Chains A and B, each alone.
Chain A
């Protein structure tokens, strides 16, 4: 009997909005990455109406304190209070918007079935969105750092110093997404790309969050690193992240 009361069926959690889908006349299905419950899909009723009291708090990239009620197939959002609003500053810059969309899509893929990764993935995504909205670093660098760290948190940590296959001490020059990063000449599969040493150093800096090393990097190395990170992410996610194709990057230079 107690299970049927509102108190028993409802719970609170912090969540960041990953994406929304239209539902019916004025509702939305909102996909959240929550701090304690992993990925949650919930119905937000009436939020597409201009009179909605919490529609603006359930836009992508918003962080909100949510009250959710267990439903038959989806949860229902009964309340939302904004904790942080990154959307306005992200959307004011088109490059930031495309980067945030790629981060949200990656987070959605990584947390679709792994509820244990919730707290770590949640902190990582909120931190990346905050940095993006502040304009703390070049948007493409924030994306690549986020992708590497999110994959590492999910159990696919790349190696950019020692050989990813045999553990032989680096530095090495070949890269293999399938083998997990930089590989030695003995483990190098045929056709593996050999990125510049500066690109490998940039990848290591992005993985460890060493912004003092990453920020001064050259656009040409950033572009090369971005290609390798995208290949690494899509190999381990086992399908293409559609938003990565639309990410607006700074030109590689002459």
Chain B
């Protein structure tokens, strides 16, 4: 045990995800030995993010205002909503530059063992957004794992009766890889999702 502030810092760092006691101690001593101005900037950044950043009232993405920049942007296509699990997934889709619609962040995926059911996600808010007739398509872009697929199944069932087009991101082989190294599940999904090569 160290004295006072150092131990407090180790304890707080140790509560972060992926940081064990040894890593917490290493980080704490790095902070202690680093340039004071650099560390004050880090402290200010942490304070700033907790004070200024909130969740967009419309889509649930992180934002410094009541509505995020994507929901405020009139050039975005309001007829298509891409449903993702987390805010970081918005960034991943934005990097593709292939999507010009808007987003809806669920805040996770249905995972009964972890105690996360549909009521813990922002599904009700999504249904509220669909009251607006402008929306014609929902793209479900949850993670291609079991929880993401289950969430997609649940959403598709909920949205079936509403009369909007519901699509799911394609799933298959990664670009740049060799076929022989693909696992049988991914390859099977690629076969199921094959499309005509003749345009």
Contacts and interface: CB of A to CB of B under 8 A. Distances in A.
A87 B113 contact: no
Contact of A101 (B113, B145, B157): B113
Contacts of A87: 146, 149, 185
B146 A82 contact: no
Contact size range, A: 20 to 34
Contacts of A92: 153
A242 B183 contact: no
A237 interface: no
Interface string A64-98: 00000000000000000010010110011110011
A82 B183 contact: yes
B69 interface: no
A107 to B, nearest CB: 11
A26 to B, nearest CB: 11
Interface in B128-181: 144-146, 149-150, 153-154, 157, 174, 177, 181
Interface in B106-144: 110-113, 115, 117, 144
Contacts of B3: none
B97 to A, nearest CB: 19
A246 interface: yes
B35 interface: no
A23 interface: yes
A110 B157 CA distance: 33
Contacts of A23: 18
B186 interface: yes
B183 A53 contact: yes
Given A24-B18, A94-B154, A97-B153, A82 B184 contact: yes
Q: How large is the interface on B (under 10, 10 to 19, 20 to 34, 35 or more residues)?
A: 20 to 34
A94 B185 contact: no
A91 B112 contact: no
A57 B177 CA distance: 18
B185 A85 contact: yes
B18 A61 contact: no
Nearest to B158: A94
B154 A53 contact: no
A59 B184 CA distance: 13
Nearest to A104: B113
Contacts of A55: 183
A93 B144 CA distance: 16
A151 B144 CA distance: 33
Contacts of A247: 112
Contact of A246 (B117, B149, B183): B117
A102 B185 contact: no
Interface string A1-43: 0000000000000000001000111000000000000000000
A54 interface: yes
A4 B183 CA distance: 30
Contact of B112 (A57, A61, A85, A98): A98
A59 B113 contact: no
A113 interface: no
A51 B154 CA distance: 27
Nearest to A244: B112
Contacts of A57: 183-185
A243 B117 CA distance: 9
Interface of A: 19, 23-25, 50-51, 53-57, 59-61, 82, 85, 87-88, 91-94, 97-98, 101-102, 104-105, 108, 242-243, 245-247
Q: Which 6 A-B pairs have the closest CB atoms?
A: A56-B185, A243-B112, A101-B112, A246-B112, A91-B149, A246-B117
17 contacts: A23-B18, A25-B18, A56-B186, A57-B183, A85-B184, A85-B185, A91-B146, A91-B149, A92-B153, A94-B154, A97-B146, A97-B153, A101-B112, A104-B113, A243-B112, A243-B113, A246-B117
